[in-house]
Amino acid sequence: MPEQVIETATSHGSTGLQAMLQVKIPLAFPTIMMGVNQTIIMVLAMVIIAGLVGGGLGQEVFINSIWLNVGQGMVAGMAIVLMAIVLDRMTQGKQSAEVPFAAMR
């Protein structure tokens, strides 16, 4: 974050909390959402591994691959991929949001 932005906020009389809430967080929001996006994708990747020890969609993929039920395994795998795509698009929409006007003042 450019030092000039923080200096401008403090020189206009904002407190540390005001600078954090109205300047720093809005400017850092796209980066924060990128981190959330990557975390969601990694969690969904772990769904398959969790299926080996627990339950859920990962277990469906694992069991159907053992019993050679290719169709059911593909459906469960596609559900995981679809969930990943939807969550990815939701967080990317927040990433590309413009910086709020209050942060530009």
pLDDT values of the chain reduced to their tens digit, one per residue, 105 residues: 788 998 999 999 999 999 999 999 999 999 999 999 888 888 877 777 776 666 777 788 878 888 888 888 888 888 888 888 888 888 876 655 555 555 555
| Cβ-contact 54, 105 below 8 angstroms | no
Global pTM? 0.59
Tracing tokens 């200096």 back to the chain, one arrives at: 7
Q: What is the largest CA-CA distance in the chain?
A: 68
* Residues 6+ positions from 65 with CB-CB distance below 8 Å: 73
User: Would you state the pLDDT for residue 95?
Assistant: 57
| 69: CB partners within 8 A, 6+ apart | 63
